[in-house]
Amino acid sequence: MESAIDTHLQCPRTLTRRVPDDYQPPFPMWVARAGTGLQQVAMAYLGVQYGRDEQRPAALAALRHIVGTFEGANGPGHHDLTDHVDNSGHHNLMAVGYWSDPAAFCRWLRSDEVKGWWDSDERLSEGLGYFREVVTPRAEQFETLYAFQDDLPGVGSVMGEISGEISEHGYWGSMRDRIPRSQTDWLQAAGELTVVSGHPAEGGRVVVRGHDNIALIRSGQDWRDAGEEERSLYLDELLPALEEGMDFLRDNGETAGCYSNRFVHSIDLDGNELDESYNIGHWRSLEHLERWAESHPTHLRIFVTFFRVVTGLEKLRLYHEVSVSDGREQIFEYINCHPRTGMLRDARLPAGA
């Protein structure tokens, strides 16, 4: 048994864990490892939004263009594609990229191919919406958790290694205990979401400034290789409670401190759905995420069901990753998106706007 926090990220605790030192988890789980070479990662959610079915071909073409910019030395080490219907009935296609080198991400972002396309006036007249939501947490600001040990999704795909069985899981508060920074920091929110240019209600280009310690969770389910029994377990038992909880956060998240919640399906480049889904949630703080997870009936049902079945899982792959980030390490930019998209809904306008 080993700590979820890698040895080079451990330090004397000034804040205690939620369980005693001799705690033994009820089943095995693992985390991704990367070693001392990984100092920071970039997680980029790059979206194309449309409101009418006849716009889907154009939206898919735009998604393919974004994926095309990933080619070359500065592209992400891993990416995946998703589709979801949001809180206003709009479809959103996303390319989600992970970089283990933030400098390479910056070179990609500033390249003529990427910057020229994003800045072009053509984006304003195509009838599509676009957004990019990016966080670049340092190694001490994120954690992972997997019920499997190979072919890691998400940020684990650019970390390269897997731990042995870890001790910090199976109890409320374990998510926080796996984040190295939590050894000495409460990770409290500081500041507010603020519109720094544009106006969400007017469309066009809008830039939102984030704040320290926004929490981002990606929580996934992959049943592509699952047999009939495990598929039934997910589709008939886990999914209904999951969808209920995700719909609540999508439509009423502001009441719980959730800025944005998207329950997405993985797709291929032609827009065909794969047997994989995940939730993407931006929260005001880790505390707000914890409070909802520990108290909302839908999440409690998911948690209890997972505990009941986890020891029998063979091909159903469940995982999550959670990060916090500094406000200066965040990008929230939108073009012609409806005003409830992402951070736009809760961002405050400047006085007099």
**Residues catalogued as catalytic:** 320
* Residues 6 or more apart in contact with residue 24 via CB below 8 angstroms: 1, 167
Residues 214 and 193: their CA atoms lie apart, in Å, by 10
**67 three-state secondary structure:** helix
Q: Which residues pair with 319 in a beta bridge?
A: 146, 220
Cα gap 12→6, rounded to integer Å? 13
d(CA 35, CA 139): 10
Q: Is the Cα dihedral 93, 60, 64, 132 positive or negative?
A: negative
Contact 157, 144 (CB under 8 A): no
d(CA 221, CA 301): 16
Q: What are phi and psi of 92, to 5 degrees?
A: -135, 120
Cα angle, residue 56 at apex, residues 97 and 220 outer, rounded to 5°: 40
Contact 336, 123 (CB under 8 A): yes
Kindly report the number of other CB atoms within 10 A of residue 107's CB atom.
16
Please name the residues in contact with 146: beta carbons below 8 A apart, sequence gap of 6 or more. 29, 30, 31, 32, 152, 156, 162, 317, 318, 319
Q: What tokens does 265 get?
A: 């399906």
Instruction: State the Cα–Cα distance between residues 218 and 167, nearest whole angstrom.
Output: 21
Helices (H), the chain: 56-68, 102-110, 112-119, 174-177, 228-232, 239-252, 286-295, 297-309
